[in-house]
Amino acid sequence: MQQHTGQHLITTVAESMFGFPTTSWNLGEKVSSIELDTPKITEEQITVLEDAVNERIRERIPVTPVLYHDKDDPKLAEARCRGLPDDHEGPVRVLSIEGLDNTLCCGTHVSNLAHLQLIKLLGLEKGKKNKSNLLFVAGERVRQYLGRSYQVEKSLMTILKGPLEEQEDLADKAVKASKSAQKAVVSLLRDLALLEAYKFKTNPDKETVLVLHRKEGDNEFMNKIVNEINDKSVTCLLTVGDEKGAGLFLLSGEDSVIQELGPKVAELLEGKGSCSRGPYQGKCNKLSHKTKAEKLVREYIAGIKSEL
């Protein structure tokens, strides 16, 4: 009732003050929105609108539902409405906010604007073409929103180690530091992949199968190793991610080996993969089964060798 009546109040004041008609609205579980027929609303306009609707709340204006039993009653022309269906029968209900608005509505409402307590306009979201979605909370939801915001603020004070006034700058620094660290990790992984490939190629006792797992790796890490080895006679089974959880896998080698073993490796690791003129790779849910996948690959390659 508070959110719905709040929508009526915001709608009528936004249109009367700025000429922004409401084209639709949504009463969400925590935050509600009103779609206004305007491509742009300034911060100043939002502030003025918020002040105006809260002033109306403090004026304790009555909200009254009125029933007109005749849809042809001339008084209906005074009410805001997108029109009645041609086949409408029965009474027509008009909601009246005294001195502010008369609109057709069959919903539930508070009986006085004072019962709204407070309206907070939260900001804008991009709407449909040339429209703007205005987000708001009213009444009890303002208190709930404030409580959630305070809990987030407390958590961020601990995480960012600074008061509210500094959190934006601290968060910005943290994001930049994280991006810088991520770039460094990517560079190190690239170097590590080159090193792993070099170590394998220069090993005088190297096998024809390379099995390698790196928790911190990614797809680029695995593909870099395969590209550096650049030898289809070598079968590579590479995995990255948490050994007890989900991750990524890659199988490379002769085309016949990939076609035969790729789907079986994916099944063992409880994952899905594919190949397109290259390694068979994909995502998996059970990296803890990688030893089973390794056994499958080694036994298959050993079988091929024994046949030669």
What digits encode the pLDDT tens for the residues 131-151?
A: 999 999 999 999 999 999 999
Q: Is 203 helix (H, G, I), strand (E, B) or coil?
A: coil
| Tokens 């695995």, located at residue | 222
- Judge whether residue 154 has pLDDT over 70: yes
Token pair for residue 14? 């936004």
- Does the pLDDT value for residue 89 go beyond 90? no
Taking alpha carbons only, the member of 167, 224, 165 closest to residue 194 is 224
Q: Region 4-11: what's the mean pLDDT?
A: 96
Q: What angle do CA 214, 260, 296 make, to 5 degrees?
A: 50
pLDDT band at 308 (very low <50, low <70, confident <90, very high): low
Query: What's the pLDDT at 299?
Result: 93
DSSP element (H, E) containing 228: helix 219-229
Mean pLDDT of 275-296: 93
Cβ–Cβ < 8 Å for 109, 62: no
Specify whether the CB–CB gap between 101 and 12 falls below 8 A: yes
Mean pLDDT along residues 258-269? 95
Q: Tokens 């109306």 correspond to what residue? A: 56
Mean of the pLDDT values across residues 200-229? 94
Return the H-helix or E-strand segment holding 198. helix 164-201
Question: Domains along the chain?
Answer: 1-143 (3.30.980.10), 203-302 (3.10.310.40)
CB of 269 closer than 8 Å to CB of 289: yes
In sequence order, which residues have a C-beta less than 8 Å from that of residue 174 and are 6 or more positions away?
160
* Mean pLDDT along residues 45-63: 97
pLDDT at 37: 95
Helices 164-201 and 140-160, axial angle in degrees (round to 10): 50
Task: Give the relative orientation of helices 140-160 and 2-18 as an angle to the nearest 10 degrees.
Answer: 90
The band of 69, judged by pLDDT with boundaries at 50, 70 and 90, is low
Q: Which of 251, 206, 247, 199 is nearest to 226 (CA)?
A: 251
Provide the 8-state DSSP code for 80: B
pLDDT digits (tens, 9 = 90+) for 172-202: 999 999 999 999 999 999 999 999 999 999 9
Say if pTM beats, i.e. exceeds, 0.75: no
Q: Taking residues 222-229, report their average pLDDT.
A: 96
Residue type, 95: L
Tell me what the pLDDT averaged over the chain comes to: 92
